């Protein structure tokens, strides 16, 4: 079909659409692969699956009591000296991560390194503004991280929205959705500020206050309610490790 004929075809479609513009379809938020369905197994038997509830855990996280005395002190020292950061650049602050990890600022000497998967990391740098679409992925990644886990919130936009305070797409206060351990203010914070943030996080962990995962477990219902308020297409399980 030549492009001029296509022009005519599109014109016809346009006329049709103009004629019945009033009828509008309802939007479904569940992706086709997440829908409840029947699957044929390799041996020929038919299995009913509901991917959201079958493939993941729906159980609530529980509070893990810290150990006592010297043991906890030793564990905290070990945790503080090996901060493994999840390599998920959620916002524009991630442009300062390469300078941080390369010889000039060299965060490796403080025991900080980037890991590719949430299951190997215990710190999450939220690098700047979080759009609702990313918040959904951040929650999912955060819940997969083994506890104890820490969140470093980078930039003014995680504190109060910064210059995106009136945006329909970005959240304003990160601490309403996830427990934050350290805020690093600025737009954008320098690598030195990030290093200072890591030192602060170490102090917090060593003093035994880095209990973000337990705070999250204790106030789980509240956090979930806040998260569900902004993520309108909640097509994932309530909790998944």
Partner 1 sequence: MSNKFFQPDRSKYPSTKGDGTLDVDLSSHKYTKIWLGPNHPGVTGNMAVEMTLGGDEIVEAKTHVGYLHRGFEKLIERRLFVQGFPTSIRMCVAEPDTNEYLIARSTEELSGLTGQVPEMAEWLRTLALEMARLQGLLRGVPGQAGTYSLGIGVQWGVYLRDLILDRFEELTGARVYHMYIIPGGVRGLLPSGFKKRMEDNLTDIDDFIVRIRKLIFHNSVFKARAVGSAVIPKEWINKFGIVGTNARASGVKRDVRKDNPYLKYSELDFDPPTATDGDIYSRTWVRWQELVQTVDLIRQIMAKMPEKGDIKGDMPNVLHWKIPKGETYVKLESGRGEYGMYYVTDGSSKPRRVNLRGPSYTHAIAVLEKMLINTNIADVHATMVSLQTCPPEIER
Partner 2 sequence: MKSLIERVGTKYNLKEVVQQRDNLVFAYVDKELAIDMVTYMRDYEGYAHFTLMSCVDWIEDGYFQLLYLLNNPETKTEFGIKVAIDRENAVMQSAHHLWEQIWTYQRELKEAFGIDFPGSPRVDEDFVVEGWDEMPHMRRDFDTNKYAEETYFMREGRKTHDPATYMREKLYPNQPVTAKKNKDEQ
- In the bound complex, what is the minimum distance in angstroms from residue 149's beta carbon to partner 2? 22
The answer to whether 237 contacts partner 1 (rule: CB under 8 A) is no
* Alpha carbon 164 to its chain's center: 19
The item of partner 2, partner 1, none sharing an interface with residue 179, based on CB under 5 to 8 Å by kind, is none
User: Could you tell me how many residues of this chain bind partner 1 (CB under 8 A)?
Assistant: 38
Q: Residue 80's closest CA among 41, 48, 112?
A: 112
The answer to whether 164 contacts partner 1 (rule: CB under 8 A) is yes
Q: Residue 198's closest CA among 123, 99, 93, 92?
A: 123
The answer to whether 114 contacts partner 1 (rule: CB under 8 A) is yes
Give dist(CA 22, CA 121) in Å, integer.
51
From 43-51, 60-68, 100-108, 165-173, give the range in contact with partner 2 by CB under 8 A. Answer: 165-173
Give dist(CA 134, CA 149) in Å, integer.
19
Restricting to residues 17-56, name those near partner 1 by CB under 8 A.
Answer: 33, 39-40, 42
Binding characters for partner 1, 63-102, by CB under 8 A (x = yes)? -----------------------xxxxxxx-xxx-xx--x
52 within 8 A of 237, measured Cβ to Cβ: yes
Alpha helices in the chain (DSSP H): 3-19, 51-54, 69-80, 97-101, 132-144, 156-159, 191-206, 212-218, 220-230
CB atoms closer than 10 angstroms to residue 83: 20
Complex with partner 1: residue 138 or 180, whichever CB lies closer: 138
Q: Which two tokens stand for residue 16?
A: 């049709």
Complex with partner 2: residue 111 or 186, whichever CB lies closer: 186
Residues comprising the chain, all counted: 241
The answer to whether 47 contacts partner 2 (rule: CB under 8 A) is no
Q: Which two tokens stand for residue 178?
A: 């996830």
DSSP conformation class of 89: -
Complex with partner 2: residue 76 or 170, whichever CB lies closer: 170
Task: Write out the residues near partner 2 by the rule CB under 8 A.
Answer: 3-4, 6-7, 9-11, 13-14, 16-18, 21, 27, 29, 132-133, 136, 159-161, 165-173, 176, 226, 229-233
Task: Write out the residues near partner 1 by the rule CB under 8 A.
Answer: 33, 39-40, 42, 86-92, 94-96, 98-99, 102-104, 114, 116, 118, 129, 131, 133-134, 137, 141, 163-164, 166-170, 187-188, 190
């Amino acid at each position: 079909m030549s492009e001029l004929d296509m022009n005519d075809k599109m014109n016809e479609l346009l006329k049709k659409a103009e004629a019945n513009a009033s009828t509008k379809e309802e939007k479904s938020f569940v992706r086709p692969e997440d829908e409840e369905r029947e699957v044929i197994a390799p041996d020929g038997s038919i299995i009913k699956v509901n991917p959201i509830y079958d493939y993941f855990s729906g159980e609530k996280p529980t509070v893990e009591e810290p150990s006592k005395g010297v043991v906890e002190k030793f564990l905290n020292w070990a945790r503080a000296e090996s901060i493994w950061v999840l390599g998920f650049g959620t916002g524009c602050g991630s442009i300062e991560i390469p300078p941080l990890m390369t010889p000039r600022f060299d965060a490796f000497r403080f025991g900080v390194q980037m890991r590719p998967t949430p299951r190997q990391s215990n710190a999450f740098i939220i690098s700047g503004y979080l759009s609702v679409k990313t918040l959904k992925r951040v929650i999912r990644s955060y819940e997969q991280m083994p506890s104890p886990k820490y969140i470093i919130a980078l930039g003014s936009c995680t504190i109060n929205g910064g210059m995106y305070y009136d945006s329909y797409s970005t959240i304003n206060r990160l601490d309403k959705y996830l427990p934050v351990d350290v805020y690093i203010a600025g737009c954008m914070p320098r690598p030195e500020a990030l290093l200072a943030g890591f030192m602060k996080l170490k102090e917090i962990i060593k003093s035994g206050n880095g209990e973000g995962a337990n705070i999250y477990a204790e106030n789980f219902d509240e956090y979930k309610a806040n998260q569900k308020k902004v993520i309108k297409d909640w097509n994932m399980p309530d909790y998944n490790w």
